[in-house]
Amino acid sequence: MIVEIAFPVPLHKTFYYRVPQELMNARIEKGMRAMTEFGRRKETGVITAVLVQDGPGIENIGIKTIESLVDAEPLFKDDIVELAYWISGNWGSAIGLVLSAFFTPVKNFSAEPLVPHNADNGFPPSIPAEEKAFKKITDFFDEGERVSVLLTKPGAGKTGLYSNLIRHFSARSGQVMCLVRDAAALNAFREAFSHLFARESVGLWHSGMTAKQKKLAWTGVRNGTVKIIIALRSGVFLPFNNLKLVIAEDEQDRLHVQEEPEPRFNARDVLIKRADFYKAAVVLASPCPSIESYWTAKTGTWNLVETGPAGDSTNNPPEVSLIDMYGYPSKAVSDPLAAKLQKVFENGKKAVLLTSKKGYSAAAFCAKCGHRMNCPGCGISLYVDKNEEGKIILVCGKCGKKYNLPENCPRCSGKIFRHSGAGVKKLEEELKDAFKNAKILRTEADEARKTGKVKNRVGDLTGADFDILITSRFFLKELKIPGLALIGLIDADSMLYSTDFSSSEQVFQTLLECYGLLAGRDDFKTEFVIQTRQPDYYVFSYFPDIDYKKFADFEIETRKKFVYPPFSRILEIALSAGDKKIMNVFFESMFGKILEIKERPGSGITDVFETDARSKFKKPAGLRRIVLKISRGQPVKDIIYELRKIEKPRSAKIEFMAKGSPW
């Protein structure tokens, strides 16, 4: 007997091993793990196929023998090998790395136990709109239509609806998976359900758990004692026993997507695929669903369910102001925003200002020729900062390297450099000059990520003593701040300057998140201020009415015109190497091969172009990205497989990344 095994290495291939005589009577199935000799070491791999008899060309090959079986039986009820090949085919990660995610080694993180209290105070009352949504979702499910896109209202609670759905689908030993985007959302779900369900029936899954906590949760999910799983994206690889309901909160959020480290995947899409096996209901919830999900529901493949406005979310909606920054070219804070901040300060309330720009300025450029200073290693624009002595320096936001400002422009030898876009530190200085008595607090996502104290920082912000908080969108969802009366988006334009076809959708999502944080505060008036140099940009026209459906319908027509998803599939090919010259030669070879494939009948490739690739790798010296538009429904795995076969130059290590959209 021969078995095919995939190992947790970045190789897009499997390996043949012979089953020894002493294991011939053992249960051997795909999805089980085996210990073997792999190279010069012993390694555990996952069996991907079992060949009862030696196939043609295999019987005479001198192949190694497996040493032992790690599992006495398959640990997963669904076919994880088939699922892993689907993930690998769409996101381009090696099959062995994908399969290893189902058996992730437990790391010893230090974290407090995150287990709900054992209490049962009854389910929260549902409002009529939630009752109507509940009935629609359950009726659709009874009719065999399992996936529902739940369009919620910004700022409206959903605890009553979710609780009733969980109670309904967890009956008769059914399991419920709640996918949340981050630690703050996980804690919110925990608090919401801690008084509604028995302690032992609720499990959590996130990277901060100890080895003991992970083992208990993993085992509980597999044997069915854990009925409700609240998890971050890695929870999609858990061994469900009887999955009956999937709730994907903020289904459109990019935090559900993993790109580094491998394997790459979108947790939402993997859960939809796994739900197919269990015939489970799927609820994709968001006040701003992805355009792809909304279109799929609107066209009838999925179901569109709307919740009416919760009573406390529309009584006192925030006032929305759009400020044209062309009248304030040298300021980070416009005069109207400054006046509003002063009023908030005088009333004893709090304000949050959002900016994505680091340091003192977003970029430095030559005043003569316009050349921007870029990182030699990463190729991305350097932002302007100051060192401890107060000297201007340039910093790469990706690799962290620091450079002195050059005396001359490397392109035209000009000597004058200007800065564009106020960074977070310049914004802080400007505010301190304008509001000398105000307590101003600044926090940046990079600092929290580097220290690994994101959760602690969120807690600090929630209870912090400040008048004005300067932060980034990274903390946006987590800002449950009492007395928050104003949110200011300092530079909305920074989100528009993107080669991503979905940039407008991302801008709308950010605006809606800000609006939702301010909605429903009955005891005082709130304001949402948007600063932009493009006040006529169409996304802003949907505020203050907050009409997601009108925006989505317009966006769908735009994408239809230019054949972007959901009217096509996008396959991204990113290449990086340490040597730019060798990289460029290989890139031309790759691009030529893609054009050759495009001309083949039935290839499905409708367009090919190069675009910006700066966010796909950590420290690339040479970095280029190719985007392929492919007909909807056309598989991408064969294209990826053929491109991987292109011979790479031995003199340079070239990294290849492929990522496709599965729907």
* pLDDT of res. 325: 86
Provide the 8-state DSSP code for 172: G
Confidence of residue 241 (pLDDT cuts 50, 70, 90): very high
Give the number of C-alpha atoms closer than 13 A to the C-alpha of residue 140, restricted to the C-beta side: 24
CATH of the domain spanning 2-102, picked from 3.40.50.740, 3.40.50.300, 3.40.50.1970, 3.40.1440.60: 3.40.1440.60
Which candidate, 589, 629, 625, 626, places its Cα nearest to that of 605? Answer: 629
* pLDDT of residue 621 exceeding 70: no
Q: Token digits for 481?
A: 């701040």
Evaluate the CA torsion angle 562, 565, 568, 569 in order and state its sign.
Answer: positive
Q: SS3 of 193, please?
A: helix
Provide the 8-state DSSP code for 372: B
* pLDDT of residue 54 exceeding 80: no
Residue 623 is inside which H or E element, if any? strand 622-631
634: CB partners within 8 A, 6+ apart: 569, 604
Confidence of residue 518 (pLDDT cuts 50, 70, 90): confident
> How many angstroms separate the CA atoms of 564 and 301, rounded?
19
184-227 pLDDT per residue, tens: 788 888 877 877 777 778 889 998 888 888 888 999 999 999 99
The residue whose two tokens read 């450099």 is: 417
292-313 average pLDDT score = 81
Q: Token digits for 491?
A: 């530079």
Q: Token digits for 520?
A: 């429903």
The CATH homologous superfamily of the domain defined by 568-660: Multidrug efflux transporter AcrB pore domain (3.30.70.1440)
Give the number of C-alpha atoms closer than 13 A to the C-alpha of residue 37, restricted to the C-beta side: 8
Measured CA distances, 301 to 132, 271, 662 (Å): 21, 17, 15
**Number of residues written out for the chain:** 663
630-657 average pLDDT score = 82
Give the number of C-alpha atoms closer than 13 A to the C-alpha of residue 25, restricted to the C-beta side: 1
Of 61-65, 161-165, 606-610, 651-655, least confident by mean pLDDT is: 651-655
**Mean pLDDT over each residue of the chain, to the nearest integer:** 83
- To the question of domain 128-306 being in CATH 3.40.50.300, the answer is yes
Question: Regarding beta strands 568-577 and 605-611, do their DSSP bridges make them parallel or antiparallel, or are they unpaired?
Answer: unpaired
* pLDDT of res. 113: 35
485-516 pLDDT per residue, tens: 999 998 887 777 666 788 889 889 989 888 88
541-550 pLDDT per residue, tens: 887 777 899 9
Q: Token digits for 259?
A: 């790109």
Q: Find the angle CA(355)-CA(360)-CA(365) to the nearest 5 degrees.
A: 105
More confident residue, 106 or 359: 359
> How many angstroms separate the CA atoms of 458 and 95, rounded?
37
* pLDDT of residue 522 exceeding 80: no
More confident residue, 586 or 423: 586
Using CB atoms within 10 A of its CB, is residue 294 exposed (0-12), middle (13-18) or buried (19+)? buried
Fold match flag (2-102 vs 319-357+423-558): no
Q: Find the angle CA(344)-CA(349)-CA(355) to the nearest 5 degrees.
A: 70
Of 147-161, 336-350, 457-471, least confident by mean pLDDT is: 457-471
> How many angstroms separate the CA atoms of 173 and 240, rounded?
12
Which candidate, 444, 466, 439, places its Cα nearest to that of 457? Answer: 444
Which candidate, 41, 23, 30, places its Cα nearest to that of 5? Answer: 30
Strand residues in 233-280 grouped as ranges (E): 243-249, 257-258, 265-266
Using CB atoms within 10 A of its CB, is residue 30 exposed (0-12), middle (13-18) or buried (19+)? middle
56-73 pLDDT per residue, tens: 556 556 789 999 999 999
* pLDDT of residue 310 exceeding 60: no
Q: Which CATH class is domain 319-357+423-558?
A: alpha beta
* pLDDT of res. 112: 35
Evaluate the CA torsion angle 266, 159, 152, 456 in order and state its sign.
Answer: negative
> How many angstroms separate the CA atoms of 510 and 23, rounded?
57
115-140 pLDDT per residue, tens: 333 444 455 556 677 889 999 999 99
Percent of residues in the chain assigned helix, strand, coil, to nearest 5: 35, 25, 40
> How many angstroms separate the CA atoms of 382 and 482, rounded?
36
Query: Where exactly are the structural domains of the chain?
Result: 2-102, 128-306, 319-357+423-558, 361-421, 568-660
Residues 516, 287: contact at Cβ < 8 Å?
yes
> How many angstroms separate the CA atoms of 532 and 421, rounded?
12
pLDDT-above-70 percentage for the chain? 83
Helices 159-170 and 128-142: crossing angle in degrees, nearest 10, is: 30
